[in-house]
Amino acid sequence: MTRNKEEKIENEFFDNSISSSFYFYYNSSLSINQSLVITNLNEITKQFSKYYSLSINTIRIFSVKFIQSIVLNKRKRQIEEINLFLIQCEIKYPKRCNRIKLCHDRFISHIFQIINLSPKQLSFLFSFNYQFTINIPMIFLSINQTSFLSPMTTNTVSTTVTTATTSTTVTTATTSTTVTTATTSTTVTTATTSTTVTTTTTSTTVTTTTTSTTVTTATTAALPTDLYFSFLSFTTGTSPRSLAVMDINDDNQSDIITANYGSNTVSVLRNTGNNAFASQVIFPVGTNPQSVAVLDINLDNRPDIITANYGANTVSILRNTGNATFSPQVIFAVGTNPYSVAVMDVNFDNKPDIITANFGDSTVSLLVNTGNATFASEIIFATHMGPRALAVSDINNDGKVDIITANYGANTVSILLNQGNNTFASQIAFATGAAPVSVAVVDINSDNQPDITTANSGANTVSILLNQGGNTFASQVIYITGANPQSVIVADLDDDGAPDIITSNFGDSTVSIFLNKGNTTFVSPVNFVTGISPQSVAIIDMNSDNRLDIITANSGANSVSLLRNTGSAIFSSQIIYATGAGPVAVAVADLDSDEKPDIVTANSGGNTVSVFRNNGEGTFSLQGTFTTGNSPRSVVIIDIDDNNKSDIIAANYYGNSVSILHNIGNATFSSQVAYTTGTGPVSVVVIDVNSDNKLDIVTANYGANSVSILYNTGNATFSAPVSFGVGTYPYSVVVVDINSDNRLDIITANYGSATVSLLVNIAVIVDMNYDGHPDIVTANYGAGTVGILLNQDNSTFASQIAFAVGSNPQSLAIVDVNFDNKLDIITANSVPNTVNLLLSLGNLTFSSRSTFATGRNPSSVAVIDVNFDNKPDIITTNFVGNSFGISFHY
């Protein structure tokens, strides 16, 4: 469903309805204190009545024995003969209430803090009114290489709904506050009385790697047009390894908590609204906190903080004492080198327990909650070697939550089935990719069975293991990610009812997004830049705009990054067409007067141009290959002889010339006519320089450090070149009236001296800041940036403003990609084989760049609508691949 359709439905919903019902389904085999639930639901009514013009008239719990189908995420899920409890809350709204959606969202986010039931006991969750399902943005968290999601649906609350608190300021530094409490911390030593359950000798390993499927590309790779992310960064403690997101101070805004491995602290960043956060408040915990979870551990309706301390073999609990303050940590012993922590009620006593994955001794520790934030001695269960992450989920739909670990040292996942009474069966192991460091458990293929997804840091992949029932899983299916993925999360980013996959990639400082296209297939990833070395990722709607945002903890930058989902343009994987040898430039224009844009490439290795006719519907066929001078490096399509047919002009680097190929009809061309230029022309422009109504030719001469003007003398003949000196190695030339004197000026981008040269009356030129003066934009190959030089009038320019676009930008284009009346920047990056897109946010600020794969060594980029869908598409020439590629705008 498109966003416009959703808005239309919601408007009708607001205008006509006066009530709405919330339904929460629980497995009826669970022991539920119904009176307590009703009491707490009534408490919600008091809270919400203060903020909304509504009343909650009915709160009841009743049983249902059989449900044929329910609507969830725009899909029907068939349920047969299941006994469930139904909790119904009927809320009445005034007519034309414009706060229904807001109320829904906040009601859902609060209910799990007030009802004394573990979120994992929740089997289904949706809101319903007159057959209209509101899509509620829920919280999906990955807590240090760990994702805890309900196995039934991506729309359920994650098991570690890890909230955090904004604590008070005690000792203030420049931008952070440190609360010194370590001296009063309490250590509870329980290791001597711990129970070890040795199960390794009886574990079962299911080896599936030999039959795994690796998926590297998909021809329809794309994010939909309502997904795009802009980048913000906020300071944390040293080397944040894990993060959690939750409203910690009950102000209806999601806050951020990080575990800072290098400073033995947690940072609390309080959400102040408008995508801004207060300076961090720091609280000490144990040595080397590797993972953090936030949950109400003592059932006082305040979220507490729990960390797994890798260097201390402990967990720390910081109890929320109200007013965003925390008590000194209480420490409990666990196994060796705990790497990940989860908080979940594993024994259904309505008290959340603590589970850790212990990397050093290849175990998991279970700390059973005995009440009042105290815990029994750990119970230890064996896993495969080196567990780095864990998830807790009912893997076999028996109503009991099981433990799943990602085992870094064994390249497996271990499943420990819950046997009840705080015991777990011997592990069952399944093969994954190399060095799995994160695991998520969620139903990928909508068969009501939770599947397993791992991030494999040693292989730069994610593995998907589909649940086949009976505690068995299919062979892994593998997708390529960014470099060294450290965390994986599964959530429905594009609101199509199918869960998508997101990874944080430590090695290249990106997140990868894989959209689920159904049938357990995912499109090729789209990558977005984060802070340096993202270790953990979380997803939540941070600004209540009904779009899920992405948050990463960046251990290399001591920061968190917020990637706001702004909604915008994304492009498909390239469709590749073979060209002549060494294509380095591309031009697009209608060559055969059929009102469809055709494509011409300049092939420097073959001394030719290739002409491709547009067949319609975005496909092309090779019309012919035509000879030019030696090593054409730049090409222009224009009617040079005024006969209403578009001709081709190429600049020939080794030929020290330009070639003119006259269009003789039907996209066929005459033999070239060559004219001498300066030495080594690499860029050509055709324009009327001297206002005589005849098109002249201007070249940038790389070998001569000059520009040449060839004046049109009539009948498509040209004068000898008139040359002007510029900076070292001019690589690109643009002709425009830069100083508004009604005379055309010449600007060159000079590769050798990292400058631009301006020849008055005597790169890309465009008005970037909408002040009426053309500015200069350059692609800076060596620096991996684009530079904007603002026109200050009188032919002077401000110092460049640089924006990172990835390695080796070879060519750039500037166009409004997403129709917001702001100019966006597209670059072709030759060495990483990508195009990069920077969306303008206004005021010379740009979103986090997105990256799309191209053919090998893209050398030139053009942007034009080639398939007549009113959306600009991207075309690149791929030098090493001897091809050009088209990325269609979705």
Res 544 pLDDT > 80: no
Q: Which two tokens stand for residue 16?
A: 């006509």
Over the stretch 45-75, which tens digit does the pLDDT of each residue have? 555 444 444 444 444 444 333 333 333 333 3
Question: Cα 753 from chain centroid?
Answer: 37
Measured CA to CA, the distance from residue 48 to residue 740 in angstroms comes to 60
Q: What are the helix (H) ranges across 465-517? A: none
Q: Domain 231-382 is classified in which CATH homologous superfamily?
A: YVTN repeat-like/Quinoprotein amine dehydrogenase (2.130.10.10)
Given a contact cutoff of 8 angstroms between Cβ atoms, the answer to whether 508 and 215 are in contact is no
Measured CA to CA, the distance from residue 176 to residue 447 in angstroms comes to 47
Measured CA to CA, the distance from residue 333 to residue 191 in angstroms comes to 6
Given a contact cutoff of 8 angstroms between Cβ atoms, the answer to whether 499 and 514 are in contact is no
Most confident of 15-19, 43-47, 75-79: 43-47
What pLDDT, on a 0 to 100 scale, did the predictor assign at position 42? 55
- Pseudo-torsion of CA 446, 449, 454, 460, nearest 10°? -40
Res 131 pLDDT > 50: no
Measured CA to CA, the distance from residue 42 to residue 55 in angstroms comes to 11
| Mean pLDDT of the region 387-400 | 93
Res 645 pLDDT > 70: yes
3-state helix, strand, coil in the chain (%, to 5): 5, 50, 45
Q: Which two tokens stand for residue 801?
A: 């403003």
What pLDDT, on a 0 to 100 scale, did the predictor assign at position 566? 66
The β-bridge partners of 575 are 886
Measured CA to CA, the distance from residue 482 to residue 790 in angstroms comes to 35
Poorest-pLDDT segment among 34-38, 111-115, 690-694: 111-115
Given a contact cutoff of 8 angstroms between Cβ atoms, the answer to whether 303 and 167 are in contact is no
Res 696 pLDDT > 60: yes
What pLDDT, on a 0 to 100 scale, did the predictor assign at position 273? 79
Poorest-pLDDT segment among 134-143, 156-165, 214-223, 423-432: 134-143
Over the stretch 475-507, which tens digit does the pLDDT of each residue have? 999 999 999 999 999 988 877 788 999 999 999
| Mean pLDDT of the region 761-769 | 74
Question: Of the candidates 655, 699, 692, which has an alpha carbon nearest to the alpha carbon of residue 673?
Answer: 655
Res 601 pLDDT > 50: yes
Res 684 pLDDT > 60: yes
Given a contact cutoff of 8 angstroms between Cβ atoms, the answer to whether 265 and 272 are in contact is no
The confidence band for 9, taking pLDDT boundaries of 50, 70 and 90, is very low
Given a contact cutoff of 8 angstroms between Cβ atoms, the answer to whether 551 and 567 are in contact is no
Please tell me the pTM assigned to this model: 0.57
Res 137 pLDDT > 50: no
What is the number of other CB atoms lying within 10 angstroms of the CB of residue 578?
Answer: 12
Measured CA to CA, the distance from residue 801 to residue 789 in angstroms comes to 7
Measured CA to CA, the distance from residue 780 to residue 766 in angstroms comes to 17
The β-bridge partners of 435 are none
Element (H, E) at 781: none
Over the stretch 548-570, which tens digit does the pLDDT of each residue have? 888 888 888 888 888 877 655 55
What is the number of other CB atoms lying within 10 angstroms of the CB of residue 374?
Answer: 14
The residues, any chain, with a CB within 8 Å of residue 868's CB and separated by 6 or more, are 596
